[in-house]
Structure 1
Amino acid sequence: MVQHINIKQLSREEWLQERQSGLGGSDAGTILGVNKWKSKTQLFFEKTNPELNQEIDNEYIYWGNVLEDVVAKEFENRTGKRVRRDNRMLRHPDHEFMFANMDRVVVGEKALLECKTTSQYNKDLWEGDDIPAQYLCQVQHYMAVTGYEKAYVAVLCGGNNFIMKEIERDEELIEMLIDAEKDFWENNIQAGVIPEIDGSDATSDFINHMYKDIDNDEVSLSEDADTLLKAIEACKRDIKDTKELQAKYENQLKDKLGHNIAGKTESYLVTWKPQKRKTLDNKRLKEEQAALIKNYYKESETRVLRIKEIKEEK
Protein backbone atom coordinates (compact mmCIF):
# COMPACT_ATOMS: atom_id res chain seq x y z
CA MET A 1 0.00 0.00 0.00
CA VAL A 2 1.27 3.46 -0.95
CA GLN A 3 2.19 5.54 2.13
CA HIS A 4 1.36 9.25 2.24
CA ILE A 5 1.36 12.40 4.31
CA ASN A 6 -0.69 15.57 3.80
CA ILE A 7 1.77 18.30 2.82
CA LYS A 8 -0.78 21.04 3.57
CA GLN A 9 -0.32 20.21 7.25
CA LEU A 10 3.45 20.69 7.04
CA SER A 11 5.40 23.89 7.54
CA ARG A 12 7.84 24.82 4.78
CA GLU A 13 10.75 23.58 6.93
CA GLU A 14 8.99 20.24 7.55
CA TRP A 15 8.20 19.90 3.84
CA LEU A 16 11.85 20.52 2.90
CA GLN A 17 12.92 17.98 5.53
CA GLU A 18 10.63 15.38 3.96
CA ARG A 19 12.14 16.09 0.55
CA GLN A 20 15.60 15.48 2.01
CA SER A 21 14.51 12.00 3.09
CA GLY A 22 14.12 10.59 -0.39
CA LEU A 23 14.10 11.09 -4.15
CA GLY A 24 11.30 12.81 -6.03
CA GLY A 25 10.19 12.88 -9.63
CA SER A 26 12.33 15.92 -10.48
CA ASP A 27 15.40 13.98 -9.26
CA ALA A 28 14.84 11.01 -11.58
CA GLY A 29 16.21 12.61 -14.74
CA THR A 30 19.28 13.86 -12.88
CA ILE A 31 20.07 10.36 -11.64
CA LEU A 32 19.77 8.95 -15.16
CA GLY A 33 21.97 11.77 -16.49
CA VAL A 34 19.38 13.39 -18.79
CA ASN A 35 18.87 16.66 -16.88
CA LYS A 36 21.26 19.26 -18.31
CA TRP A 37 20.38 21.72 -15.53
CA LYS A 38 21.57 19.58 -12.62
CA SER A 39 24.23 16.90 -12.09
CA LYS A 40 24.32 13.94 -9.72
CA THR A 41 27.10 15.72 -7.85
CA GLN A 42 24.86 18.72 -7.18
CA LEU A 43 21.94 16.48 -6.21
CA PHE A 44 24.19 14.60 -3.75
CA PHE A 45 25.22 17.80 -1.98
CA GLU A 46 21.65 19.09 -1.90
CA LYS A 47 20.41 15.89 -0.26
CA THR A 48 23.26 15.68 2.23
CA ASN A 49 23.57 19.41 3.01
CA PRO A 50 20.12 20.93 3.60
CA GLU A 51 21.50 24.48 3.59
CA LEU A 52 22.38 24.05 -0.10
CA ASN A 53 18.88 22.92 -1.03
CA GLN A 54 17.41 26.34 -1.66
CA GLU A 55 14.59 27.07 -4.06
CA ILE A 56 15.74 29.03 -7.10
CA ASP A 57 13.85 32.31 -7.14
CA ASN A 58 13.48 33.48 -10.72
CA GLU A 59 10.83 34.61 -13.16
CA TYR A 60 10.58 31.22 -14.90
CA ILE A 61 9.68 29.38 -11.71
CA TYR A 62 7.38 32.16 -10.51
CA TRP A 63 5.32 32.18 -13.72
CA GLY A 64 5.41 28.38 -13.90
CA ASN A 65 3.67 28.28 -10.52
CA VAL A 66 1.23 31.07 -11.42
CA LEU A 67 0.25 29.45 -14.72
CA GLU A 68 -0.13 25.90 -13.37
CA ASP A 69 -3.84 26.45 -12.71
CA VAL A 70 -4.29 27.94 -16.20
CA VAL A 71 -2.61 24.93 -17.84
CA ALA A 72 -4.66 22.46 -15.78
CA LYS A 73 -7.92 24.27 -16.65
CA GLU A 74 -7.08 24.33 -20.34
CA PHE A 75 -6.38 20.60 -20.21
CA GLU A 76 -9.88 20.09 -18.78
CA ASN A 77 -11.42 22.31 -21.48
CA ARG A 78 -9.71 20.49 -24.33
CA THR A 79 -10.18 16.92 -23.11
CA GLY A 80 -13.43 17.03 -21.15
CA LYS A 81 -11.61 15.31 -18.28
CA ARG A 82 -11.68 16.55 -14.71
CA VAL A 83 -8.56 16.94 -12.59
CA ARG A 84 -8.00 17.71 -8.93
CA ARG A 85 -5.06 18.68 -6.77
CA ASP A 86 -3.39 15.98 -4.73
CA ASN A 87 -1.97 17.45 -1.52
CA ARG A 88 -0.26 14.24 -0.49
CA MET A 89 3.39 13.29 -0.56
CA LEU A 90 3.25 9.64 -1.59
CA ARG A 91 5.86 6.98 -0.83
CA HIS A 92 6.56 3.85 -2.85
CA PRO A 93 5.22 0.81 -0.96
CA ASP A 94 8.49 -1.14 -1.34
CA HIS A 95 11.06 1.62 -1.81
CA GLU A 96 10.41 4.31 0.80
CA PHE A 97 13.16 6.55 -0.55
CA MET A 98 10.99 7.17 -3.64
CA PHE A 99 8.32 9.84 -3.16
CA ALA A 100 5.91 11.73 -5.41
CA ASN A 101 4.37 15.21 -5.28
CA MET A 102 2.08 15.41 -8.31
CA ASP A 103 0.51 18.52 -9.83
CA ARG A 104 -2.90 16.95 -10.45
CA VAL A 105 -4.63 13.56 -10.67
CA VAL A 106 -7.26 12.76 -13.29
CA VAL A 107 -10.67 11.98 -11.83
CA GLY A 108 -12.00 8.53 -12.74
CA GLU A 109 -8.65 7.30 -14.12
CA LYS A 110 -5.49 5.85 -12.64
CA ALA A 111 -3.64 8.74 -14.20
CA LEU A 112 -1.82 11.95 -13.30
CA LEU A 113 -1.43 15.32 -14.98
CA GLU A 114 1.87 17.18 -15.01
CA CYS A 115 1.62 20.88 -15.94
CA LYS A 116 4.57 22.65 -17.61
CA THR A 117 5.40 26.07 -19.03
CA THR A 118 8.36 26.61 -21.31
CA SER A 119 9.93 29.07 -23.72
CA GLN A 120 9.00 29.10 -27.40
CA TYR A 121 12.65 28.25 -28.09
CA ASN A 122 12.00 24.78 -26.60
CA LYS A 123 9.07 24.08 -28.92
CA ASP A 124 11.11 21.65 -31.05
CA LEU A 125 11.67 19.44 -27.99
CA TRP A 126 7.91 18.71 -27.90
CA GLU A 127 7.27 18.07 -31.60
CA GLY A 128 5.41 14.93 -32.68
CA ASP A 129 5.73 12.20 -30.09
CA ASP A 130 8.79 13.80 -28.51
CA ILE A 131 8.96 14.71 -24.83
CA PRO A 132 12.14 15.90 -23.06
CA ALA A 133 13.79 12.91 -21.38
CA GLN A 134 13.91 14.54 -17.94
CA TYR A 135 10.11 14.99 -17.94
CA LEU A 136 9.55 11.46 -19.21
CA CYS A 137 11.63 10.17 -16.28
CA GLN A 138 9.67 12.41 -13.90
CA VAL A 139 6.22 11.05 -14.83
CA GLN A 140 7.44 7.44 -14.99
CA HIS A 141 8.83 7.93 -11.47
CA TYR A 142 5.39 9.12 -10.36
CA MET A 143 3.76 6.09 -11.96
CA ALA A 144 6.28 3.84 -10.21
CA VAL A 145 5.33 5.32 -6.82
CA THR A 146 1.56 5.44 -7.34
CA GLY A 147 0.96 2.39 -9.50
CA TYR A 148 -0.85 4.62 -12.01
CA GLU A 149 -1.24 3.36 -15.58
CA LYS A 150 -0.97 6.63 -17.45
CA ALA A 151 0.29 10.20 -17.31
CA TYR A 152 -0.72 13.31 -19.21
CA VAL A 153 1.66 16.23 -19.72
CA ALA A 154 0.18 19.62 -20.64
CA VAL A 155 2.62 22.30 -21.78
CA LEU A 156 2.11 26.01 -22.43
CA CYS A 157 4.88 26.88 -24.86
CA GLY A 158 5.82 30.51 -25.37
CA GLY A 159 2.58 31.68 -23.78
CA ASN A 160 0.47 30.95 -26.86
CA ASN A 161 1.02 27.33 -27.93
CA PHE A 162 -0.69 24.57 -25.93
CA ILE A 163 0.69 21.03 -26.25
CA MET A 164 -0.64 17.81 -24.70
CA LYS A 165 1.05 14.42 -24.41
CA GLU A 166 -0.33 11.08 -23.24
CA ILE A 167 2.28 8.73 -21.77
CA GLU A 168 1.67 5.07 -21.00
CA ARG A 169 3.30 3.31 -18.09
CA ASP A 170 6.66 1.83 -19.19
CA GLU A 171 7.63 -1.07 -16.93
CA GLU A 172 11.10 -1.42 -18.44
CA LEU A 173 11.94 2.26 -17.85
CA ILE A 174 10.42 2.09 -14.37
CA GLU A 175 12.68 -0.83 -13.46
CA MET A 176 15.68 1.15 -14.74
CA LEU A 177 14.63 4.13 -12.64
CA ILE A 178 14.14 2.06 -9.49
CA ASP A 179 17.54 0.37 -9.90
CA ALA A 180 19.35 3.66 -10.61
CA GLU A 181 17.64 5.56 -7.79
CA LYS A 182 18.20 2.70 -5.33
CA ASP A 183 21.89 2.62 -6.24
CA PHE A 184 22.23 6.40 -5.87
CA TRP A 185 20.32 6.48 -2.57
CA GLU A 186 22.12 3.56 -0.92
CA ASN A 187 25.62 3.83 -2.39
CA ASN A 188 25.92 7.60 -2.55
CA ILE A 189 23.50 9.40 -0.21
CA GLN A 190 23.37 6.89 2.65
CA ALA A 191 27.00 5.81 2.22
CA GLY A 192 28.20 9.42 2.06
CA VAL A 193 30.09 8.75 -1.18
CA ILE A 194 30.18 11.66 -3.63
CA PRO A 195 29.33 10.57 -7.20
CA GLU A 196 32.12 10.91 -9.71
CA ILE A 197 32.40 14.60 -10.54
CA ASP A 198 31.69 15.03 -14.25
CA GLY A 199 32.44 17.78 -16.76
CA SER A 200 28.89 18.99 -17.31
CA ASP A 201 28.03 22.69 -17.22
CA ALA A 202 25.68 21.96 -14.32
CA THR A 203 28.53 20.49 -12.26
CA SER A 204 30.91 23.33 -13.19
CA ASP A 205 28.38 25.97 -12.18
CA PHE A 206 27.62 24.22 -8.90
CA ILE A 207 31.28 23.65 -7.97
CA ASN A 208 32.03 27.33 -8.69
CA HIS A 209 29.06 28.40 -6.57
CA MET A 210 29.82 26.07 -3.67
CA TYR A 211 33.45 27.18 -3.35
CA LYS A 212 33.05 30.89 -4.14
CA ASP A 213 34.23 31.85 -0.64
CA ILE A 214 38.02 31.89 -0.59
CA ASP A 215 40.57 31.00 2.10
CA ASN A 216 43.98 32.49 1.36
CA ASP A 217 45.80 29.26 2.14
CA GLU A 218 47.86 26.78 0.19
CA VAL A 219 47.26 23.10 0.85
CA SER A 220 49.16 19.93 0.04
CA LEU A 221 47.31 17.92 -2.59
CA SER A 222 47.36 14.13 -2.82
CA GLU A 223 48.82 11.89 -5.52
CA ASP A 224 45.30 11.63 -6.95
CA ALA A 225 45.41 15.37 -7.60
CA ASP A 226 48.78 14.96 -9.30
CA THR A 227 47.22 12.34 -11.57
CA LEU A 228 44.38 14.73 -12.41
CA LEU A 229 46.84 17.50 -13.23
CA LYS A 230 48.79 15.23 -15.58
CA ALA A 231 45.51 14.19 -17.23
CA ILE A 232 44.52 17.85 -17.71
CA GLU A 233 47.86 18.65 -19.33
CA ALA A 234 47.51 15.61 -21.58
CA CYS A 235 44.04 16.78 -22.64
CA LYS A 236 45.44 20.22 -23.47
CA ARG A 237 48.14 18.66 -25.65
CA ASP A 238 45.57 16.43 -27.36
CA ILE A 239 43.30 19.42 -28.05
CA LYS A 240 46.22 21.38 -29.50
CA ASP A 241 47.30 18.45 -31.67
CA THR A 242 43.71 17.86 -32.80
CA LYS A 243 43.24 21.53 -33.75
CA GLU A 244 46.49 21.52 -35.74
CA LEU A 245 45.46 18.31 -37.50
CA GLN A 246 42.02 19.75 -38.26
CA ALA A 247 43.60 22.90 -39.72
CA LYS A 248 45.87 20.73 -41.87
CA TYR A 249 42.93 18.76 -43.29
CA GLU A 250 40.91 21.95 -43.87
CA ASN A 251 43.79 23.52 -45.82
CA GLN A 252 44.11 20.40 -47.96
CA LEU A 253 40.36 20.53 -48.67
CA LYS A 254 40.55 24.24 -49.60
CA ASP A 255 43.37 23.41 -52.01
CA LYS A 256 41.11 20.85 -53.71
CA LEU A 257 38.30 23.42 -54.04
CA GLY A 258 40.67 26.04 -55.44
CA HIS A 259 38.67 28.93 -56.95
CA ASN A 260 35.38 27.00 -56.78
CA ILE A 261 32.73 28.08 -54.28
CA ALA A 262 31.42 24.56 -53.54
CA GLY A 263 32.19 20.88 -53.90
CA LYS A 264 30.32 17.64 -53.42
CA THR A 265 31.16 14.03 -52.57
CA GLU A 266 28.88 11.03 -52.09
CA SER A 267 28.48 11.92 -48.43
CA TYR A 268 29.11 15.66 -48.09
CA LEU A 269 28.42 19.09 -49.56
CA VAL A 270 31.15 21.61 -48.76
CA THR A 271 31.11 25.35 -49.46
CA TRP A 272 33.89 27.92 -49.24
CA LYS A 273 32.24 31.32 -49.57
CA PRO A 274 33.38 34.85 -48.75
CA GLN A 275 31.71 36.30 -45.67
CA LYS A 276 31.76 39.87 -44.38
CA ARG A 277 31.64 40.77 -40.73
CA LYS A 278 32.02 43.92 -38.71
CA THR A 279 34.09 43.98 -35.55
CA LEU A 280 34.51 46.67 -32.95
CA ASP A 281 37.94 48.31 -32.88
CA ASN A 282 38.37 48.04 -29.11
CA LYS A 283 41.86 49.47 -29.10
CA ARG A 284 40.82 52.64 -30.94
CA LEU A 285 37.63 52.97 -28.87
CA LYS A 286 39.61 52.82 -25.62
CA GLU A 287 42.11 55.38 -26.89
CA GLU A 288 39.58 57.90 -28.22
CA GLN A 289 36.63 57.40 -25.82
CA ALA A 290 38.31 56.32 -22.59
CA ALA A 291 36.33 58.75 -20.42
CA LEU A 292 33.03 57.64 -21.92
CA ILE A 293 33.39 53.88 -21.83
CA LYS A 294 34.67 53.68 -18.26
CA ASN A 295 31.07 54.17 -17.09
CA TYR A 296 29.98 51.03 -18.95
CA TYR A 297 32.37 48.54 -17.41
CA LYS A 298 30.71 45.84 -15.33
CA GLU A 299 32.81 44.16 -12.66
CA SER A 300 32.42 40.48 -11.86
CA GLU A 301 34.53 38.02 -9.94
CA THR A 302 35.32 34.40 -10.79
CA ARG A 303 37.88 31.93 -9.54
CA VAL A 304 40.35 31.03 -12.30
CA LEU A 305 42.12 27.68 -12.29
CA ARG A 306 45.70 27.95 -13.53
CA ILE A 307 48.28 25.17 -13.62
CA LYS A 308 52.05 25.63 -13.60
CA GLU A 309 54.46 22.73 -13.65
CA ILE A 310 57.08 22.79 -10.90
CA LYS A 311 60.54 22.05 -12.30
CA GLU A 312 62.78 20.02 -10.06
CA GLU A 313 66.11 21.64 -9.28
CA LYS A 314 69.13 19.63 -10.41
Structure 2
Amino acid sequence: MQAVRLASTKDMSHGEWLLWRQKGIGGSDAAAICRMSRYKSPMGVYLDKLGELPPIEDNPKMKAGRMLEPIIADWFSEETGYKVQRRNAILSHPKHSFMLANIDRWLSGQNAGLECKNTAEYCKEDWSGTQAPTEYILQCNHYMAVTGADRWYIAVLIGGWDFQWRVIERDDDLIRNLITVEKEFWHDHVLAKVPPAYSHQDTEFLKTQFPTSTPNAAFQLGEDTYPIMQDLFRARADEEDAKRRKNSAANQIKGLMGENELAFFQGDLKFTWKTNKKGIRTFNVIGGDE
Protein backbone atom coordinates (compact mmCIF):
# COMPACT_ATOMS: atom_id res chain seq x y z
CA MET A 1 0.00 0.00 0.00
CA GLN A 2 1.43 3.38 -1.04
CA ALA A 3 -0.86 5.57 1.11
CA VAL A 4 0.32 7.77 3.96
CA ARG A 5 -1.26 6.93 7.33
CA LEU A 6 -2.52 10.18 8.88
CA ALA A 7 -4.46 9.07 11.93
CA SER A 8 -5.86 6.03 13.67
CA THR A 9 -9.65 5.65 13.72
CA LYS A 10 -9.68 2.85 16.31
CA ASP A 11 -10.74 5.07 19.23
CA MET A 12 -11.73 8.12 17.19
CA SER A 13 -15.05 9.75 18.08
CA HIS A 14 -17.66 10.48 15.43
CA GLY A 15 -17.04 14.21 15.89
CA GLU A 16 -13.30 13.81 15.35
CA TRP A 17 -13.96 11.72 12.26
CA LEU A 18 -16.19 14.46 10.83
CA LEU A 19 -13.42 17.02 11.39
CA TRP A 20 -10.95 14.82 9.53
CA ARG A 21 -13.40 14.62 6.62
CA GLN A 22 -13.10 18.39 6.23
CA LYS A 23 -9.34 18.16 5.69
CA GLY A 24 -9.63 16.67 2.21
CA ILE A 25 -11.71 14.81 -0.36
CA GLY A 26 -12.87 11.31 0.51
CA GLY A 27 -14.12 8.45 -1.62
CA SER A 28 -17.79 9.26 -0.96
CA ASP A 29 -17.18 12.80 -2.30
CA ALA A 30 -15.74 11.70 -5.67
CA ALA A 31 -19.00 11.09 -7.55
CA ALA A 32 -20.55 14.33 -6.26
CA ILE A 33 -17.57 16.41 -7.37
CA CYS A 34 -17.79 14.75 -10.81
CA ARG A 35 -21.55 15.56 -10.87
CA MET A 36 -22.30 11.83 -11.11
CA SER A 37 -23.99 11.37 -7.74
CA ARG A 38 -27.74 10.99 -7.47
CA TYR A 39 -27.80 12.27 -3.92
CA LYS A 40 -24.96 14.71 -3.27
CA SER A 41 -23.98 17.89 -5.15
CA PRO A 42 -20.64 19.69 -5.56
CA MET A 43 -22.12 22.51 -3.48
CA GLY A 44 -22.91 20.04 -0.72
CA VAL A 45 -19.30 18.81 -0.70
CA TYR A 46 -17.98 22.38 -0.75
CA LEU A 47 -20.09 23.51 2.21
CA ASP A 48 -19.25 20.33 4.10
CA LYS A 49 -15.50 20.95 3.72
CA LEU A 50 -15.87 24.53 4.95
CA GLY A 51 -17.89 23.36 7.95
CA GLU A 52 -20.92 25.38 6.85
CA LEU A 53 -23.40 22.52 6.93
CA PRO A 54 -25.19 21.44 10.12
CA PRO A 55 -23.46 18.47 11.80
CA ILE A 56 -24.61 15.12 10.46
CA GLU A 57 -26.60 13.61 13.30
CA ASP A 58 -26.38 9.90 13.82
CA ASN A 59 -29.51 8.07 12.65
CA PRO A 60 -30.80 4.48 12.38
CA LYS A 61 -29.65 4.16 8.76
CA MET A 62 -26.10 5.19 9.65
CA LYS A 63 -26.10 2.91 12.69
CA ALA A 64 -27.29 -0.01 10.57
CA GLY A 65 -24.43 0.59 8.15
CA ARG A 66 -21.89 0.47 10.99
CA MET A 67 -23.46 -2.56 12.66
CA LEU A 68 -23.75 -4.55 9.44
CA GLU A 69 -20.31 -3.68 8.03
CA PRO A 70 -18.48 -6.55 9.81
CA ILE A 71 -21.27 -8.96 8.88
CA ILE A 72 -21.02 -7.95 5.21
CA ALA A 73 -17.22 -8.26 5.33
CA ASP A 74 -17.45 -11.74 6.89
CA TRP A 75 -20.09 -12.75 4.34
CA PHE A 76 -17.76 -11.63 1.55
CA SER A 77 -14.91 -13.71 3.03
CA GLU A 78 -17.14 -16.76 3.26
CA GLU A 79 -18.38 -16.36 -0.33
CA THR A 80 -14.97 -15.72 -1.89
CA GLY A 81 -12.48 -17.37 0.43
CA TYR A 82 -10.52 -14.09 0.62
CA LYS A 83 -9.26 -12.95 4.00
CA VAL A 84 -9.94 -9.33 4.91
CA GLN A 85 -8.57 -7.10 7.65
CA ARG A 86 -9.38 -3.71 9.13
CA ARG A 87 -7.03 -0.78 8.53
CA ASN A 88 -8.45 1.53 11.23
CA ALA A 89 -6.80 4.57 9.68
CA ILE A 90 -7.36 7.72 7.70
CA LEU A 91 -5.06 7.51 4.69
CA SER A 92 -3.89 10.09 2.18
CA HIS A 93 -2.37 10.02 -1.29
CA PRO A 94 1.45 10.27 -1.11
CA LYS A 95 1.55 13.17 -3.61
CA HIS A 96 -1.91 14.69 -3.38
CA SER A 97 -2.45 15.08 0.36
CA PHE A 98 -6.02 16.39 -0.10
CA MET A 99 -7.10 12.93 -1.36
CA LEU A 100 -8.19 10.96 1.71
CA ALA A 101 -9.43 7.43 2.27
CA ASN A 102 -11.04 5.64 5.18
CA ILE A 103 -11.39 2.14 3.76
CA ASP A 104 -13.62 -0.61 5.10
CA ARG A 105 -11.24 -3.56 4.64
CA TRP A 106 -7.93 -4.58 3.04
CA LEU A 107 -7.49 -8.03 1.46
CA SER A 108 -4.64 -10.13 2.82
CA GLY A 109 -2.26 -11.33 0.13
CA GLN A 110 -3.74 -9.03 -2.49
CA ASN A 111 -3.13 -5.44 -3.48
CA ALA A 112 -6.85 -4.81 -3.12
CA GLY A 113 -9.50 -3.43 -0.80
CA LEU A 114 -13.17 -4.01 0.02
CA GLU A 115 -16.05 -1.55 0.28
CA CYS A 116 -19.12 -2.73 2.24
CA LYS A 117 -22.59 -1.38 1.45
CA ASN A 118 -25.96 -1.89 3.10
CA THR A 119 -28.97 -0.79 1.08
CA ALA A 120 -32.75 -1.08 0.95
CA GLU A 121 -34.86 -3.41 -1.16
CA TYR A 122 -36.03 -0.55 -3.41
CA CYS A 123 -32.40 -0.08 -4.55
CA LYS A 124 -32.22 -3.62 -5.92
CA GLU A 125 -32.37 -2.44 -9.53
CA ASP A 126 -29.11 -0.53 -9.01
CA TRP A 127 -27.41 -3.91 -8.75
CA SER A 128 -29.24 -5.74 -11.53
CA GLY A 129 -26.28 -5.63 -13.94
CA THR A 130 -22.80 -7.08 -13.74
CA GLN A 131 -21.21 -3.78 -12.74
CA ALA A 132 -21.48 -1.71 -9.60
CA PRO A 133 -23.36 1.63 -9.78
CA THR A 134 -21.34 4.50 -11.25
CA GLU A 135 -21.04 6.33 -7.91
CA TYR A 136 -19.28 3.35 -6.40
CA ILE A 137 -17.00 2.81 -9.38
CA LEU A 138 -15.77 6.37 -8.85
CA GLN A 139 -15.52 5.89 -5.09
CA CYS A 140 -13.47 2.71 -5.41
CA ASN A 141 -11.14 4.19 -8.04
CA HIS A 142 -10.56 7.07 -5.63
CA TYR A 143 -9.47 4.53 -3.03
CA MET A 144 -7.24 2.83 -5.60
CA ALA A 145 -5.66 6.20 -6.40
CA VAL A 146 -4.86 6.77 -2.71
CA THR A 147 -3.66 3.25 -1.90
CA GLY A 148 -2.15 2.17 -5.23
CA ALA A 149 -4.40 -0.92 -5.25
CA ASP A 150 -4.88 -2.99 -8.40
CA ARG A 151 -8.57 -3.65 -7.81
CA TRP A 152 -11.34 -3.01 -5.34
CA TYR A 153 -14.13 -5.34 -4.32
CA ILE A 154 -17.55 -4.07 -3.31
CA ALA A 155 -20.01 -6.15 -1.33
CA VAL A 156 -23.64 -5.15 -0.81
CA LEU A 157 -26.45 -6.45 1.38
CA ILE A 158 -29.82 -5.59 -0.16
CA GLY A 159 -32.94 -5.58 1.99
CA GLY A 160 -31.20 -7.49 4.78
CA TRP A 161 -30.85 -10.80 2.93
CA ASP A 162 -29.76 -10.43 -0.72
CA PHE A 163 -25.94 -10.49 -0.68
CA GLN A 164 -23.99 -9.61 -3.84
CA TRP A 165 -20.44 -8.58 -4.67
CA ARG A 166 -18.58 -7.09 -7.62
CA VAL A 167 -14.95 -6.49 -8.52
CA ILE A 168 -13.80 -3.14 -9.91
CA GLU A 169 -10.50 -3.26 -11.75
CA ARG A 170 -8.16 -0.28 -11.54
CA ASP A 171 -8.76 2.23 -14.34
CA ASP A 172 -5.68 4.44 -14.66
CA ASP A 173 -7.30 6.80 -17.18
CA LEU A 174 -10.24 7.31 -14.83
CA ILE A 175 -7.88 7.81 -11.88
CA ARG A 176 -5.92 10.49 -13.76
CA ASN A 177 -9.17 12.30 -14.51
CA LEU A 178 -10.32 11.94 -10.91
CA ILE A 179 -7.08 13.44 -9.61
CA THR A 180 -7.44 16.39 -12.02
CA VAL A 181 -11.08 17.03 -11.08
CA GLU A 182 -10.50 16.65 -7.35
CA LYS A 183 -7.38 18.82 -7.42
CA GLU A 184 -9.23 21.61 -9.23
CA PHE A 185 -12.16 21.35 -6.83
CA TRP A 186 -9.96 21.44 -3.74
CA HIS A 187 -7.76 24.34 -4.87
CA ASP A 188 -10.17 26.38 -7.01
CA HIS A 189 -13.21 26.03 -4.76
CA VAL A 190 -12.49 24.82 -1.21
CA LEU A 191 -9.16 26.55 -0.55
CA ALA A 192 -10.10 29.60 -2.63
CA LYS A 193 -13.57 29.69 -0.97
CA VAL A 194 -15.25 30.04 -4.33
CA PRO A 195 -18.51 28.05 -4.35
CA PRO A 196 -19.30 25.77 -7.30
CA ALA A 197 -22.53 26.10 -9.27
CA TYR A 198 -25.76 24.79 -7.77
CA SER A 199 -27.17 21.59 -9.26
CA HIS A 200 -30.41 19.60 -9.21
CA GLN A 201 -29.66 18.06 -5.78
CA ASP A 202 -29.66 21.50 -4.13
CA THR A 203 -33.41 22.17 -4.33
CA GLU A 204 -34.15 21.45 -0.66
CA PHE A 205 -30.95 23.16 0.50
CA LEU A 206 -31.91 26.39 -1.32
CA LYS A 207 -35.32 26.31 0.38
CA THR A 208 -33.66 26.26 3.78
CA GLN A 209 -30.89 28.70 2.83
CA PHE A 210 -33.30 31.34 1.48
CA PRO A 211 -36.65 30.55 3.19
CA THR A 212 -38.18 34.02 2.66
CA SER A 213 -37.98 36.81 0.13
CA THR A 214 -37.42 40.53 0.64
CA PRO A 215 -40.47 42.46 -0.66
CA ASN A 216 -39.79 44.28 -3.96
CA ALA A 217 -36.06 43.49 -3.82
CA ALA A 218 -34.65 42.82 -7.31
CA PHE A 219 -31.53 41.21 -8.73
CA GLN A 220 -30.05 42.10 -12.13
CA LEU A 221 -28.83 39.05 -14.01
CA GLY A 222 -25.55 39.51 -15.86
CA GLU A 223 -24.70 38.46 -19.41
CA ASP A 224 -22.83 35.44 -18.07
CA THR A 225 -26.17 33.95 -16.96
CA TYR A 226 -27.55 33.84 -20.51
CA PRO A 227 -26.45 30.18 -21.14
CA ILE A 228 -28.10 29.15 -17.86
CA MET A 229 -31.33 30.86 -18.88
CA GLN A 230 -31.21 29.14 -22.27
CA ASP A 231 -30.77 25.77 -20.56
CA LEU A 232 -33.81 26.48 -18.40
CA PHE A 233 -35.95 27.60 -21.35
CA ARG A 234 -34.94 24.54 -23.41
CA ALA A 235 -35.63 22.21 -20.49
CA ARG A 236 -39.09 23.72 -20.03
CA ALA A 237 -39.83 23.26 -23.74
CA ASP A 238 -38.58 19.65 -23.61
CA GLU A 239 -40.73 19.05 -20.55
CA GLU A 240 -43.84 20.30 -22.32
CA ASP A 241 -43.04 18.19 -25.37
CA ALA A 242 -42.52 15.11 -23.19
CA LYS A 243 -45.84 15.78 -21.45
CA ARG A 244 -47.65 15.94 -24.82
CA ARG A 245 -46.02 12.69 -26.00
CA LYS A 246 -46.84 11.00 -22.69
CA ASN A 247 -50.51 11.99 -22.85
CA SER A 248 -50.79 10.97 -26.51
CA ALA A 249 -49.33 7.51 -25.85
CA ALA A 250 -51.46 7.05 -22.71
CA ASN A 251 -54.64 7.94 -24.59
CA GLN A 252 -53.79 5.44 -27.33
CA ILE A 253 -53.41 2.72 -24.68
CA LYS A 254 -56.68 3.80 -23.03
CA GLY A 255 -58.45 3.60 -26.38
CA LEU A 256 -57.24 0.03 -26.82
CA MET A 257 -58.23 -0.93 -23.27
CA GLY A 258 -61.77 0.44 -23.53
CA GLU A 259 -63.73 -0.77 -20.47
CA ASN A 260 -60.99 -3.17 -19.35
CA GLU A 261 -59.21 -2.39 -16.07
CA LEU A 262 -55.95 -4.21 -16.79
CA ALA A 263 -53.60 -4.33 -19.77
CA PHE A 264 -50.90 -7.00 -20.14
CA PHE A 265 -47.95 -7.28 -22.51
CA GLN A 266 -46.29 -10.66 -23.00
CA GLY A 267 -47.74 -11.91 -19.72
CA ASP A 268 -46.71 -8.88 -17.61
CA LEU A 269 -49.14 -6.31 -16.24
CA LYS A 270 -48.21 -2.94 -17.73
CA PHE A 271 -51.20 -0.60 -17.24
CA THR A 272 -54.32 -0.23 -15.10
CA TRP A 273 -57.31 2.03 -15.72
CA LYS A 274 -59.62 1.54 -12.77
CA THR A 275 -62.74 3.33 -11.54
CA ASN A 276 -62.44 4.58 -7.96
CA LYS A 277 -65.21 5.03 -5.37
CA LYS A 278 -66.00 8.48 -6.77
CA GLY A 279 -66.60 7.03 -10.23
CA ILE A 280 -63.37 8.47 -11.68
CA ARG A 281 -61.10 6.24 -13.74
CA THR A 282 -57.36 6.57 -12.93
CA PHE A 283 -54.70 5.44 -15.38
CA ASN A 284 -51.48 4.00 -13.98
CA VAL A 285 -48.28 2.76 -15.60
CA ILE A 286 -47.08 -0.38 -13.81
CA GLY A 287 -43.81 -1.02 -15.54
CA GLY A 288 -41.80 -0.43 -18.67
CA ASP A 289 -38.38 -0.39 -20.24
CA GLU A 290 -36.44 2.77 -19.51
Task: State the TM-score bracket (shorter-chain normalisation).
Answer: 0.7 to 0.9
Q: CA deviation at 1:221?
A: 1.7
Instruction: Tell me the residue number matched to 2:161.
Output: 160
| Structure number, greater radius of gyration | 1
SS at match of 1:117: strand
Quote the Cα distance in structure 1 between the aligned partners of 2:209 and 2:198.
Answer: 14
- Within-5 A mapping of 1:1-314: 2-4=3-5, 5-8=7-10, 10-48=12-50, 50-52=51-53, 54-198=55-199, 200=200, 202-212=201-211, 214=212, 219-224=217-222, 234=233, 238=237, 242=241, 246=245, 250=248, 275-278=273-276
How far off is 1:112 after superposition? 0.7
- Aligned pair in 2 of structure 1 residues 8, 211: CA closer, same or farther (>3 Å)? farther
Aligned positions, number: 264
CA distances 1:195-224 after superposition (whole Å, capped 9, x unpaired) = 1222x1x21122223334x47665442333
Match of 1:286 in 2: none
Alignment TM-score, normalising by the size of structure 1: 0.72
Q: RMSD over aligned Cα, in angstroms?
A: 3.5
Partner of 1:302: none
Identical-residue share of aligned pairs (%): 34
- Contact between 1:47 and 1:53, CA under 8 Å: does it hold in 2? no
Could you say what secondary structure the match of 1:63 adopts? helix
Higher mean displacement: 180-189 or 2-11: 2-11
CA 1:121–1:88 in structure 2 vs 1: closer, same or farther (change >3 Å)? same
Residue identity matched to 2:35: G
Q: Provide TM-score, normalisation by structure 2.
A: 0.77
Structure 1, unmatched stretches of 5+, are 263-268, 282-314
Closer, same or farther: CA 223–123 of 1 in aligned 2, 3 Å: closer
Deviation at 1:75, TM superposition (A): 1.3
- 1:275 aligns to what SS in structure 2? strand
Compared CA separation, residues 42 and 276, structure 1 to 2 (3 A): same
Q: Please list the CA deviations of residues 221-275 of structure 1 after superposition, one character each: whole Å capped at 9, or x if unmatched.
A: 233399689769956974696479659x939x96xx9x7669xxxxxx9xxx993
Ranges in structure 2 where 5+ consecutive residues have no aligned partner: 259-264, 266-270, 280-290
CA contact (8 A) 1:25 1:100 kept: yes
Tell me, in whole angstroms, the C-alpha distance in 2 between the residues paired with 1:149 and 1:243.
Answer: 44
